[in-house]
């Protein structure tokens, strides 16, 4: 794909390439052929985030979009039955092209504290004990005093998935909600990376050329589409300890990072700001597609708990490997299929869901009625048991969602 376009989004919530099934909107889509300048604007806000209907919302901090067509509500005034709105945490997915000059404006509307903006390096350390408290920083802006604004610029890094966050008082500001995903697109969109390994390049070519990816009716599958909102998703994990962190901060208690690390006991586990039933059924979380329509899922862990996403009905292809010898993530030299993948704190992993025929479906093709009105649903849940609860409760709560098979291959 040689065309170049610039995309940015102005709705809160961590969903890549909004629109269509994701229930978000593409805000600007401008053709261009070379690196360009991009202007983005965020504000740090105090917000109240609902977890479930008729349950007390949780006090958090958010990077709120200040871009055109962003949300018109003030999140701190939301009623507890507002789960149909995009969550104010995490911040919006910021999407740019590799090499863009990004001009970022950040306003601190939180009267009680300084804040900041940083982008963590990709790759990130995995086993380094310092990773939980001092993530390695690739790009960092100036400190933002209360009720003030800073403007700075940076060059968009190599194509891939990055975590942006508030590095001050780390990890408190980050786990309080000041984090989001930065997606950097390559000039050539045949894969998510500018310099893919031969194995990754072959995988993305095989999607529409090779027999293993032919659909049950013998038709070739489809190529991954970098600019199709239905073929790109973000799963951004976080953990919330409202008893020891959020509520004390709301009440003006001063907490140190060491205090938080020593007492942290999360009660809520979120994907893209949602937990439990609302998380499972949020359209921005659950990929949807027909057989042969591959989906890229960018997985990030902004929290302090480890996660282990596990998918039913299909395997995914891990595009990033991590070596214990030097603690670095690398683009995969050898593609493996997984139904479960590790996501330690601050780790980022891209996986490809090829939307192959689920092997255990019988008979095939299913009766059209089996797809129902919304498609055939398969769960994705975390295999770390505590993450499947919400303020106590039982499975299936916590970090759980679906992927949806809409039907057989469509030509």
pLDDT number for residue 372: 66
Residue 2 has pLDDT above 50, yes or no: no
CATH of range 198-231+276-407; options 3.20.20.220, 2.60.40.420, 3.40.50.2000, 3.30.1540.20: 2.60.40.420
pLDDT number for residue 77: 38
Check residues 265 and 86 and name the one with the higher pLDDT.
265
pLDDT digits (tens, 9 = 90+) for 69-108: 444 333 333 333 455 667 889 999 999 999 999 999 999 9
Structure confidence at residue 66 as a pLDDT band (50, 70, 90): confident
Domain layout of the chain by residue ranges: 5-187, 198-231+276-407
Structure confidence at residue 32 as a pLDDT band (50, 70, 90): very low
Check residues 217 and 124 and name the one with the higher pLDDT.
217
3-state SS, the chain, equals CCCCEEEECCCCCCCCCCCHHHCCCCCEEEECCCCCEEEEEEEEEEEEECCCCCCCCEEEEEEEECCCCCCCCCHHHCCCCCCCCCCCCCCCCEEEECCCEEEEEEEECCCCCCECCEEECCCCCCCCHHHHCCCCEEEECCCECCCEEEEEEEECCCCEEEEEECCCCCCHHHHCCCEEEEEEECCCCCCCCCCCCHHHHHHHHHCCCCHHHCCCCCCCCCCCCCCCHHHEEEEEEEEECHHHHHHHHHCCCCCCHHHHHHHCCCCEEEECCECHHHHHHCCCCCCEEECCCCEEEEEEECCCCCECEEECCCCEEECEEEECCCCEEEECCCCCEECECCECCCCEEEEEECCCCCCCCCCCCCCHHHHCCCCEEEEEEECCHHHHCCCCCCCCCCCEEEEEEEECCCC
Residue 356 has pLDDT above 80, yes or no: yes
Structure confidence at residue 295 as a pLDDT band (50, 70, 90): very high
Q: Is 338 left (phi over 0), alpha (psi -120 to 50) or beta?
A: beta
Q: What is the mean pLDDT of residues 47-68?
A: 87
Structure confidence at residue 35 as a pLDDT band (50, 70, 90): low
Structure confidence at residue 131 as a pLDDT band (50, 70, 90): very low
Per the structure block, which two tokens stand in for 59? 């006090």
Query: What's the mean pLDDT when you consider all of the chain?
Result: 81
pLDDT digits (tens, 9 = 90+) for 232-264: 999 999 999 999 999 999 999 999 999 999 999
Q: What is the CA radius of gyration of the chain?
A: 20
Per the structure block, which two tokens stand in for 99? 């090499």
Instruction: Check if the beta carbon of residue 246 is closer than 8 Å to that of residue 58.
Output: yes
pLDDT number for residue 325: 40
Instruction: Check if the beta carbon of residue 309 is closer than 8 Å to that of residue 279.
Output: no
Tell whether domain 5-187 is in CATH 2.60.40.420: yes
Identical fold between 5-187 and 198-231+276-407:
yes
Q: Which of 47-61, 176-190, 320-334, 373-387 has the lowest mean pLDDT?
A: 320-334
pLDDT digits (tens, 9 = 90+) for 170-221: 999 999 999 999 999 998 789 999 989 999 999 999 998 887 787 777 778 8
pTM comes to: 0.87
User: Distance between CA atoms of 205 and 354, rounded to whole angstroms?
Assistant: 12
Q: Which of 79-93, 271-285, 370-384 has the lowest mean pLDDT?
A: 79-93
pLDDT number for residue 126: 42
pLDDT digits (tens, 9 = 90+) for 358-374: 887 766 767 766 666 67
pLDDT number for residue 327: 41
Cβ neighbours, 10 Å, residue 254? 8
């Amino acid at each position: 794909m040689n065309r170049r376009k610039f995309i940015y989004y102005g709705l809160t919530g961590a969903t890549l390439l909004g629109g269509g099934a994701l229930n978000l909107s593409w805000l600007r889509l401008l053709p261009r052929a070379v690196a360009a300048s991009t202007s983005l604007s965020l504000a740090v806000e105090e917000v109240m985030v609902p977890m479930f209907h008729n349950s007390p919302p949780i006090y958090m901090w958010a990077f709120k979009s200040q871009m055109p067509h962003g949300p018109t509500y003030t999140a701190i005034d939301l009623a507890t039955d507002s789960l149909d709105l995009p969550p104010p945490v995490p911040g919006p997915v910021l999407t740019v092209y590799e090499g863009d000059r990004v001009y970022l404006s950040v306003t601190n509307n939180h009267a009680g504290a300084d804040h900041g903006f940083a982008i963590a390096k990709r790759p990130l350390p995995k086993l380094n004990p310092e990773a939980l408290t001092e993530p390695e920083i690739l790009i960092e802006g100036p400190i933002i005093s209360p009720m003030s604004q800073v403007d700075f610029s940076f060059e968009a890094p190599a194509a891939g998935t990055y975590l942006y966050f508030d590095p001050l008082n780390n990890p408190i500001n980050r786990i309080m909600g000041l984090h989001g995903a930065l997606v950097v697109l390559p000039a050539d969109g045949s894969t998510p990376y500018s310099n893919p390994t031969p194995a990754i390049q072959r995988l993305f070519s095989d999607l529409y050329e090779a027999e293993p990816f032919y659909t049950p009716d013998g038709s070739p599958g489809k190529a991954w589409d970098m600019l199709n909102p239905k073929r790109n998703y973000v799963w951004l994990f976080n953990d919330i300890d409202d008893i020891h962190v959020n509520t004390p901060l709301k009440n003006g208690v001063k907490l140190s990072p060491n205090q938080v690390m020593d007492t942290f006991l999360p009660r809520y586990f979120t994907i893209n700001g949602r937990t439990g039933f609302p998380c499972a059924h949020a359209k921005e979380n659950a990929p949807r597609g027909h057989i042969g329509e591959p989906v890229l899922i960018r997985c990030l862990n902004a929290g302090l708990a480890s996660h282990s996403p596990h998918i039913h009905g299909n395997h995914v292809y891990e595009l990033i490997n991590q070596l214990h010898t030097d603690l670095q993530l690398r683009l995969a030299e050898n593609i493996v299929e997984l139904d479960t993948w590790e996501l330690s704190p601050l780790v980022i992993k891209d996986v490809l869901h090829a939307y192959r025929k689920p092997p255990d479906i019988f008979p095939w093709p299913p009766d059209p009625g089996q797809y129902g009105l919304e498609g055939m649903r398969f769960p994705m849940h975390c295999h770390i048991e505590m993450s499947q609860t919400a303020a106590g409760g039982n499975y299936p709560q916590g970090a759980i969602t679906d992927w949806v098979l809409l039907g057989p291959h469509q030509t």
